[in-house]
Amino acid sequence: MSSIDYSEKIPNNVNLSEDRTLQRALEQWQPNYLRWWDDMGPDGSQSFDVYLRTAVSVDPQGWAQFGHVKMPDYRWGIFLNPTEKDRRIHFGDHRGEAAWQDVPGEHRANLRRIIVTQGDTEPASVEQQRHLGLTCPSQYDLRNLFQVNVEEGRHLWAMVYLLHKYFGRDGREEGEALLERRSGNQDNPRILQAFNEKTPDWLSFFMFTYFTDRDGKFQLCALAESSFDPLARTTKFMLTEEAHHMFVGESGVSRVIQRTCQVMNELKTDDPAKLRAAGVIDLPTIQRYLNFHFSVTIDLFGADQSSNAAIFYSTGLKGRFEEGKRNDDHVLKGQHYKVLEVQGGQLVEKEVPMLNALNEVLRDDYIKDSVGGVERWNKVIEKAGIPFRLKVPHKAFHRNIGTLSGVKVSPDGRVVHDHEWNQNVEQWLPGDEDRAFVASLMGRIVEPGKFAHWIAPPMMGINRQPVDFEYVRFN
Ligand SMILES: [Fe+2]
Ligand SMILES: [Fe+2]
């Protein structure tokens, strides 16, 4: 089960050749996928040989192989973690029953919706990142961008496989629609708003892979608990790939900060104007980008109170983060959780039934996890001896979903009037001027071992290769 058959048109470890109908359907989808990749995949990259990792097994030890590949020839395939013997449902109303190997009729619509919503984010991020290759700060970074892109493409395959195999004609139609929606398109946008935002520069890209790919991690972790076993096994393997995306984000932002701090110390200044003139991104601008990406991403967890979240949990479709490690009854009836609301011009906590607050539970787990990397960024600043600290904004800041949407809250968690908001928003969120400045730094650096002025080189290369390795051959 764990070995992958690469002799087939669609590499897989699901014995695809034994199900002719499914194989044919996916082989018909494949050229449409490749057309989408040609149209919406990384701009101008078709003839490059890129040092990519490809999954060759689902064995946690040594699952990937590295080598130069032309991206359109990347072997996108279908890889599920091995079946766990006698796996049981471990939360919700069906707790203790055998996990489902097929989709129960009564949960079909909800499962389809969950899979389509997850699937839609994968091609969306490729579309958002499609022009970044033109302004890469180094070959090393270009390679990492392309690695993220091909794996998001594979994540789309992972979801389309489930749709084709378990949802019949509806599933095939959804598979087509996933190739038709476009990030940011007015008439046919991607499903979730954060995936319709632009990723116009590399600071945005690093913030996106740190914060928004981490949302991916949390959604995948919740789905890895699912009673629908094929979904659990698919998402478990996707998580293996996801870890690298967040590494790209965390190390990318860290290197930007490192370079800025170095120039701050050289010039002995914290004046943003002087630092900008010296060609690095001042820390307050980095904070504003952080505020933006954090707030847009925590909206992805959905409304703080949601009857759908309760249904998804109780019916066993979607668990909590690390459901198996928690010591409660895993049914949650009669339990409560605190969510925020505004009363008399102040944020106050309110107890609500936990089942309805499961989006908030997942959001709070995500926030705890996000803070870790921000603290590691602060270590870089601290080590440079600079008295500035980055901070994730209050979770009520700049929200567009749930009770807190429509309330103006400062990054430190005070409800403010429109007037105060308007006066300070330029300190809190990146404005046109910030974005124009960051854009002005973006230029294409592709000589092996060279790096743009605004970012420090990484500590080490990919797969133990040197930093100045030829990660991309442009031909
Ligand atoms: Fe993904
Ligand atoms: Fe990702």
Ligand sitting nearest the alpha carbon of 208: 2
Exposed, middle or buried, 362 (CB in 10 Å: 0-12/13-18/19+)? buried
Show the CA angle centred on residue 216, arms to residues 158 and 325, nearest 5°. Answer: 100
Ligand 2 centroid vs 220 CA: distance in angstroms?
10
Q: H-helix or E-strand containing 340? A: strand 336-343
pLDDT in tens, 289-342: 999 999 999 999 999 999 999 999 999 999 999 999 999 999 999 999 999 999
Query: Would you say the C-alpha torsion 457, 460, 463, 466 has a positive or negative sign?
Result: positive
Q: Which residues pair with 347 in a beta bridge?
A: 342
Query: In which residue ranges of the chain is pLDDT below 50?
Result: 1
Ligand 2 centroid vs 245 CA: distance in angstroms?
5
Ligand 2 centroid vs 214 CA: distance in angstroms?
8
Please provide the DSSP assignment of 48-69 as one string. Answer: -EEEEEEE-B--SSS-EEEEEE
Ligand 2 centroid vs 314 CA: distance in angstroms?
28
Ligand 1 centroid vs 74 CA: distance in angstroms?
16
Q: 425-449: b or e for each residue (b if 16 or more CB lie within 10 Å)?
A: eeebbbeeebbebbeebbeebeeee
pLDDT at 55: 86
Ligand 2 centroid vs 148 CA: distance in angstroms?
6
Using alpha carbons only, how large is the chain's radius of gyration in Å? 23
pLDDT at 1: 46
Instruction: Give the residue among 51, 53, 52, 55 at the shortest CA–CA distance from 4.
Output: 55
168 vs 165: CA distance, rounded Å: 7
- Residue 144 and residue 462 in contact, taking contact as beta carbons nearer than 8 Å: yes
110 vs 374: CA distance, rounded Å: 35
Ligand 2 centroid vs 215 CA: distance in angstroms?
9
End-to-end CA distance of the chain: 38
Please provide the DSSP assignment of 212-257 as one string. Answer: IHHHHHHHHHHHTT-SBHHHHHHHHHHHHHHHHHHHHHHHHHHHHH
CA atoms within 13 A on the CB side of 195: 24
364 vs 358: CA distance, rounded Å: 10
Ligand 2 centroid vs 121 CA: distance in angstroms?
9
Report phi then psi at 472, rounded to 5: -130, 130
Amino acid, res. 141: D
Ligand 2 centroid vs 106 CA: distance in angstroms?
31
403 vs 182: CA distance, rounded Å: 28
Exposed, middle or buried, 308 (CB in 10 Å: 0-12/13-18/19+)? middle
430 vs 68: CA distance, rounded Å: 37
The DSSP call for residue 130 is T
pLDDT at 2: 52
Ligand 1 centroid vs 208 CA: distance in angstroms?
12
Amino acid, res. 322: E
Crossing angle for the helix pair 307-314 and 108-128, nearest 10 degrees?
A: 110
Report phi then psi at 319, rounded to 5: -90, -170
Tell me the CA distances in angstroms from 309 to 270, 316, 369, 418, one per residue in order: 46, 11, 21, 32
Ligand 2 centroid vs 14 CA: distance in angstroms?
23
